[in-house]
Amino acid sequence: MKTNMAISQVNLTIASNGRLVIPANMRAAIGLRDGGEIVARLVDGAVVLQPLDAAIRQAQAMVARYVPTGSGLVDELIADRRAAANRE
């Protein structure tokens, strides 16, 4: 999703209980709904918040670079486990 540059940066205040309110227009820009989950990461001293589904897609893309096209990793794992069980 494209982020509107007009809302790309705001100053926020952290409450005494550690809560932070993300403005509604920012939540809408990233498709975050009430009750939605986000992932918080510490990157070079900054806290980066990302919707969970976007973080999953990013992780899948990173892993996909190392998986050969057309490979059946699940089938390979099952075959390996069965072979190990047969050897026991």
Residues paired with residue 48 on neighbouring β-strands, in sequence order: 41
Q: How far apart, in whole angstroms, are the C-alpha atoms of residue 52 and residue 64?
A: 18
Residues paired with residue 28 on neighbouring β-strands, in sequence order: none
Q: How far apart, in whole angstroms, are the C-alpha atoms of residue 9 and residue 21?
A: 14
pLDDT at 65: 87
Is the pTM value of this prediction over 0.85? no
Sign of torsion, CA 55 1 33 16?
Answer: positive
- 54 pLDDT band, cuts 50/70/90, is very high
- CATH C-level class of 5-87: mainly beta
The residue with greater pLDDT, 29 or 3, is 29
The residue with greater pLDDT, 15 or 66, is 15
The strand ranges marked E within the chain are 38-43, 46-51
All structural domains of the chain with their residue ranges: 5-87
- 3 pLDDT band, cuts 50/70/90, is very low
Give the other-Cβ count within 10 Å of 32's Cβ: 20
- pLDDT tens digits, 34-47: 889 999 999 999 99
